[in-house]
Chain A
Amino acid sequence: MAFDQQKVLLFGVAAAVRLLLFTAFPSLPNLLTGRVEISTPVTSFKRLQEGVFLYTHNVSPYDGGVFHQAPLLLPLFSLLPNPAFHPFATNLLYTVVDLLGANALMQIAESWQSAAPRLFKSSRKDLRWSSIAIGAGFLFNPFTITTCIARPTSALTNLFILISMAKASQGAGATFVLALSFASYLAMHPILLFPPLLLLCYDARATKTKSTPPLLTFAVVHVLALAAALGGLLYLSALLMGSWEFLAATYGVRLLLPDLTPNVGLWWYFFTEMFDSFREFFLGVFWLHVVSYVPGLTIRLRKQPLFVATTLTGIFAVFTPYPSIADGTLYLSLVPLFRHLFPLMRYTFLASSTILYASFIGPAFYYLWIYAGSGNANFFYAITLVWSLGLSVIVGDSLYAALRDELDVERPELRGKEVKRI
């Protein structure tokens, strides 16, 4: 089958590129692991190695300030041979993670939930890219490749988010809940994707079975399932570690931001410069701010739950405490699903040039601050502002396009005309 041949070719080339980069430049993985743009304190591969080292030497990795990642990663990575001497197994794992992520992304594209969900048929729904093109956009995105080479655990989180979206858009409730609970277990904030994905799953199920089960029962069942899955994972972790202290060291660190290592997000410099007496207040405000998008978007865009989930990943890439370009790459890979919105977007050039500008100048300014000493922290801070601004422009602009698209269906007479917001 020609289609499958294309897919095999795509995956083969993508895997070959990754493995070639791993083997041809053996120092590249460690170099990229050290980049603050890719590795954050809660996802860094070097910190994971330290955690595995302490775990295999019977020191609790959570009784320290270095390791802040989920406990179940420890037995997984302790099974692999030491990446300092035999890196191939780890490299292969991360390549496979990327391929599985691309596969899930292609499943989302094939489900066509982006342009034609149950309750809404976009007037431009035939404007779309093939799933191969979307998969290639993910696999050959330079951000994805650098993320894969740097091996942060956010690659795993991204995989589970993509799988949960794919399963939700196929209406497979159990696997969706399981994948989302894994993603939330690893990174905590993906749990905020649950409301839109639950609606997506409900819509997909309703389309498939041609009957609408009561939404409330559906929601209750899935909430209970999610709670059970998460509870099971946490209980398993506690059994593994022998205590619950990992909660404070993993989720507590994400909530309270004790480690102010620079990253591409907005939090680290804000809380470096924050007055001590206001620290807790602003932590609360910032988290509330992130959470506030979930109900707003889910209610307003009830008819397009996949778009809500996509927009939320974009918001996470900007407004969570420890974002990295891995979060940005997840959002940027999901945006091409909404090819039909592109003609309605107004600031495409501005946003893409901002993102490109930040990606090129960011490492240079970081170098000026940390190594050359000819710049100060404000240089890198300014670039993180630009990066965040660029991503939030895309988020806002695509949201405008989605709403405008809905308007075109509701009031076809306004199509192509100038509109106002009141």
Chain B
Amino acid sequence: MRSFLPLLFFNYLIAFASAASDYYERLLLRPLPRSALLASFNFRSNESSASFDQQHFRYFPRSLGQILQHAGTKELHLRFSLGRWDAESWGQQPWDGAREGGTGVELWAWLEALSEEEAFARWLTLTNALSGLFCASLNFIDATKTIRPVMSFQPEGDHHNSSSLHLLHGTLPHEVVCTENLTPFLKLLPCKGKAGISSLLDGHKLFDASWQTMAIDVRPICGQDGTHCVLEMEQTVDMVLDIDRSKRPRDNPIPRPLPIEEIACDTSKHYNAEDTCYPLDKSAEPPWNLTDIFGRSLKGACPLTDEDGEGAKTVCINTPPERIIQANTTGQYVETRLASDTVRCYKLPTGADFDIDLPEQQMTTGLVLASPPLFAARSINGHGQERGSIQAVIRNPSFTDSVEFVYLESLPWFMKPYLHTLQARVDTSPSNPIKETYYRPAVDRHRGTHLELCMAIPPASTLTLTYDFEKAILRYTEYPPDANRGFDVAPAVIRLLSPGSSGKQGVYVRTTSLLLPLPTPDFSMPYNVIILTSTVMALGFGNIFNLLVRRFVGADEVQTMGAGGLQGVLRGRITRLRAKFTTG
């Protein structure tokens, strides 16, 4: 029987280290159930506002800084994400979800502008510039994908003239995040992936993870009296690696079954035999080291980090105290134990490779995973390509606290929700959980739907939110090349109001993105359609106007082709002509 120690997930460690130095980085490793491993990379660089304004950049990347200055951006949040955080088995998200993004790309920023139009123009400048910087399709965030959230986001930084600030939010759920986005991300770091924890970041492993999110957050932070402002840029990479999968060698990545002699079989199964085996769950923690699972070795400390103090402890691992951890390096390192020995931190040697090695070990104690404040899942109900309904199921696992939150949906314009069908039900109480609604309907081809709901769930209850929607049929040029795959719908963003977070970051939960199949026309036959429709119209028009402009005479009163054929007609014409000349 395993006993569980309370896990103190230590965001606080990072919180108090802020503003102490101009550059700070930390990697936190946390083994999760079923041989998963959460790796949270955090990099922070500060620049004083004065030197930023004078375009004097030291740790802050010049490329990004100039974009922010040009677009009048005061605070920026950019996310690149892949996969799904499995809250049922992994517990609460790192950073309370505040550094998480919806699948694809998510961007929100506070821009300084005098009017909404100016803010939007600057937003377009920003997205286009970031698109170039991060090799992402951010330039496709146009008016139809941009919303102005009302309740869901609060600025993290200190803004003194907040009256002229405009918040804009855009998502690209279809964007596939990949190596070309990681390379510019690493280049923004002072050590550029050559030294320090960033030397572990390898595209092959990062984008092979079960879940990963890369975040960039830029915000101004001021002292108590409102002076000594610094501009802080935080870069975060969170990933959940499958240890078994990550350890596969790159030249032989296909998993192959082990020989049956090496598998521990469940002999209680009736079909267990020489050649049939039901594998037993491995109760032992799997062995791993940094080089195996990241595919690279850690190249020692980044020389810009602090020599001592909190900032020097760059690699931390959160395991039960009994777990054996062996540090392998030729240089000098320092191990510190924190939080009743559940966290071990290492000060890295400079200029020498560093690795930690965890052997296979049968554990007697485990760590309790913190439960997330809410479980959220969203799906599309109904069948057919004409209409459907959205169902969001949000569960409050706490037995004592009720949870109040804001639910934000940003839907594409071709998905037309019917707000009068919106229903929210809580299974334990008959009262309406919706406290407040903000709704901005979509306009075809101009803007998307923006829905924000402020809701509350009583303890240990489940809230079910449903609404109907209709799918529009698009012009054939508006479909992407893989039209029958469907369109991606951005994840819903849930921000907790109470219980909230102590800091300014907020607590967030996101659902997965949805795939929306739309009715498709036949792409191969625009000419045929034009011809056939025109034929029917011509038949109607021709028939009617033929009747209108001609007059009736008796059939025997006119000369026809019938009597003499072509010859007869010609003869008739000639006679008529001759008659004209002779009379005239």
Query: B28 at the A/B interface (Cβ < 8 Å)?
Result: no
Q: Is the CB–CB distance between A64 and B386 below 8 Å?
A: no
Query: A4 at the A/B interface (Cβ < 8 Å)?
Result: no
- Given A63-B441, A66-B441, A378-B525: A414 and B554 interface contact (C-beta under 8 Å): yes
User: A341 to chain B: closest CB distance in Å?
Assistant: 13
Query: A407 at the A/B interface (Cβ < 8 Å)?
Result: yes
Comparing B70-78, B184-192, B474-482, the segment that makes contact with chain A is B474-482
A-B contacts counted at CB < 8 A amount to 169
Please pick, from A269, A315, A377, A420, the residue contacting B533 in the complex, using a CB distance under 8 A.
Answer: A269
Tell me the B547-562 residues at the A interface (CB within 8 Å).
547-558, 560
User: What mask results when residues 523 to 567 of chain B are scored 1 for a CB within 8 Å of chain A, else 0?
Assistant: 001100110110011011101111111111111111010000000
User: What mask results when residues 24 to 38 of chain B are scored 1 for a CB within 8 Å of chain A, else 0?
Assistant: 000000000000000
Query: A17 at the A/B interface (Cβ < 8 Å)?
Result: no
Q: Is the CB–CB distance between A417 and B444 below 8 Å?
A: no
Q: Is the CB–CB distance between B547 and A272 below 8 Å?
A: no
Residues of chain A with a CB closer than 8 A to B473's CB: 260-262, 268, 272
Q: Is the CB–CB distance between B548 and A296 below 8 Å?
A: yes
Interface size on A, residues (CB 8 A): 65
A57 to B444, CA, bound (A): 22
Q: Is the CB–CB distance between B474 and A421 below 8 Å?
A: no
Query: A363 at the A/B interface (Cβ < 8 Å)?
Result: no
Please pick, from A389, A399, A400, the residue contacting B536 in the complex, using a CB distance under 8 A.
Answer: A389
- Given A34-B387, A59-B439, A65-B443: A53 and B419 interface contact (C-beta under 8 Å): yes
Query: A385 at the A/B interface (Cβ < 8 Å)?
Result: yes
- Given A66-B418, A289-B537: A273 and B529 interface contact (C-beta under 8 Å): yes
Q: Is the CB–CB distance between B554 and A420 below 8 Å?
A: yes
A418 to B556, CA, bound (A): 8
Closest A residue, CB atoms, query B534: A270
Q: Is the CB–CB distance between A59 and B536 below 8 Å?
A: no
- Given A65-B416, A66-B416, A260-B474: A272 and B521 interface contact (C-beta under 8 Å): yes
Q: Is the CB–CB distance between A273 and B547 below 8 Å?
A: no
Residues of chain A with a CB closer than 8 A to B533's CB: 266, 269-270, 385
Chain A contact surface mostly: helix
Looking at B420, B443, B548, B553, the one whose CB has the most chain A CB atoms below 10 A away is B420
Comparing A124-132, A332-340, A368-376, the segment that makes contact with chain B is A368-376
User: A292 to chain B: closest CB distance in Å?
Assistant: 8
Q: Is the CB–CB distance between A421 and B552 below 8 Å?
A: yes
Looking at A260, A262, A273, the one whose CB has the most chain B CB atoms below 10 A away is A273
Q: Is the CB–CB distance between B550 and A319 below 8 Å?
A: no
Residues of chain B with a CB closer than 8 A to A414's CB: 552, 554
A57 to B438, CA, bound (A): 11
Q: Is the CB–CB distance between B472 and A378 below 8 Å?
A: no
Residues of chain A with a CB closer than 8 A to B539's CB: 389, 392
Tell me the A365-422 residues at the B interface (CB within 8 Å).
369-371, 376-378, 381, 385, 388-389, 392, 395-396, 399-400, 403-404, 407, 411, 414, 417-422
User: What mask results when residues 282 to 299 of chain A are scored 1 for a CB within 8 Å of chain B, else 0?
Assistant: 000000010011001100
Residues of chain A with a CB closer than 8 A to B253's CB: none
Chain B contact surface mostly: mixed
Query: B519 at the A/B interface (Cβ < 8 Å)?
Result: yes
Q: Is the CB–CB distance between A399 and B519 below 8 Å?
A: no
Residues of chain B with a CB closer than 8 A to A53's CB: 419-420
Residues of chain B with a CB closer than 8 A to A34's CB: 386-387
- Given A50-B419, A65-B444: A296 and B544 interface contact (C-beta under 8 Å): yes
A297 to B194, CA, bound (A): 83
Query: B413 at the A/B interface (Cβ < 8 Å)?
Result: yes
Query: B385 at the A/B interface (Cβ < 8 Å)?
Result: yes
State which size class the interface on B falls in: 35 or more
Q: Is the CB–CB distance between B544 and A370 below 8 Å?
A: no
Query: A274 at the A/B interface (Cβ < 8 Å)?
Result: yes
Q: Is the CB–CB distance between B522 and A420 below 8 Å?
A: no
Please pick, from B439, B476, B536, the residue contacting A388 in the complex, using a CB distance under 8 A.
Answer: B536
Q: Is the CB–CB distance between A371 and B383 below 8 Å?
A: yes
Query: A46 at the A/B interface (Cβ < 8 Å)?
Result: yes
Query: B464 at the A/B interface (Cβ < 8 Å)?
Result: no
Please pick, from A50, A275, A419, the residue contacting B552 in the complex, using a CB distance under 8 A.
Answer: A419
Q: Is the CB–CB distance between A258 and B445 below 8 Å?
A: yes
Q: Is the CB–CB distance between B413 and A385 below 8 Å?
A: no
User: A211 to chain B: closest CB distance in Å?
Assistant: 31
Residues of chain A with a CB closer than 8 A to B546's CB: 421
Query: B259 at the A/B interface (Cβ < 8 Å)?
Result: no
Query: B442 at the A/B interface (Cβ < 8 Å)?
Result: yes
A318 to B474, CA, bound (A): 22
Residues of chain B with a CB closer than 8 A to A275's CB: 477, 526
User: What mask results when residues 495 to 538 of chain B are scored 1 for a CB within 8 Å of chain A, else 0?
Assistant: 00000000000000000000000011110011001101100110
Residues of chain A with a CB closer than 8 A to B522's CB: 273, 376-378
Tell me the A197-222 residues at the B interface (CB within 8 Å).
none
Residues of chain B with a CB closer than 8 A to A270's CB: 529-530, 533
Q: Is the CB–CB distance between A420 and B547 below 8 Å?
A: no
Residues of chain A with a CB closer than 8 A to B553's CB: 419-420, 422
Q: Is the CB–CB distance between B521 and A269 below 8 Å?
A: yes
Q: Is the CB–CB distance between B413 and A377 below 8 Å?
A: no
Query: B384 at the A/B interface (Cβ < 8 Å)?
Result: yes
Q: Is the CB–CB distance between B475 and A400 below 8 Å?
A: no
User: A264 to chain B: closest CB distance in Å?
Assistant: 12
Looking at A52, A268, A392, A418, the one whose CB has the most chain B CB atoms below 10 A away is A392
Q: Is the CB–CB distance between B519 and A420 below 8 Å?
A: no
Residues of chain B with a CB closer than 8 A to A388's CB: 536, 540
Q: Is the CB–CB distance between A273 and B384 below 8 Å?
A: no
Residues of chain B with a CB closer than 8 A to A371's CB: 383-386
Q: Is the CB–CB distance between A266 and B552 below 8 Å?
A: no
- Given A258-B445, A260-B473, A422-B553: A377 and B520 interface contact (C-beta under 8 Å): yes
Please pick, from A36, A319, A376, A404, the residue contacting B540 in the complex, using a CB distance under 8 A.
Answer: A319
A319 to B533, CA, bound (A): 11
A418 to B562, CA, bound (A): 15
Please pick, from B537, B547, B554, the residue contacting A417 in the complex, using a CB distance under 8 A.
Answer: B554
A385 to B534, CA, bound (A): 10
Closest B residue, CB atoms, query A311: B544
Please pick, from B419, B475, B536, B543, the residue contacting A271 in the complex, using a CB distance under 8 A.
Answer: B475
Q: Is the CB–CB distance between A258 and B444 below 8 Å?
A: yes
- Given A273-B476, A378-B522, A403-B547: A420 and B536 interface contact (C-beta under 8 Å): no
User: A217 to chain B: closest CB distance in Å?
Assistant: 28
Looking at A59, A293, A371, A377, the one whose CB has the most chain B CB atoms below 10 A away is A377
Residues of chain B with a CB closer than 8 A to A400's CB: 547
A289 to B557, CA, bound (A): 34
24 A-B pairs within 8 Å (CB atoms) are namely A34-B387, A54-B441, A65-B416, A65-B443, A66-B418, A258-B445, A261-B473, A262-B519, A269-B521, A273-B476, A289-B541, A297-B548, A315-B540, A371-B385, A376-B520, A377-B522, A392-B539, A395-B540, A396-B544, A407-B552, A417-B555, A419-B555, A420-B555, A421-B550
The 3 closest A-B pairs by CB, nearest first: A64-B441, A53-B420, A392-B540
| Extra contacts besides A272-B473, A296-B544, A421-B550 (20): CB < 8 Å | A46-B418, A54-B439, A65-B413, A65-B443, A66-B418, A259-B444, A261-B473, A262-B519, A270-B530, A274-B475, A297-B548, A319-B537, A370-B386, A388-B536, A389-B536, A392-B539, A399-B547, A417-B556, A420-B553, A421-B546
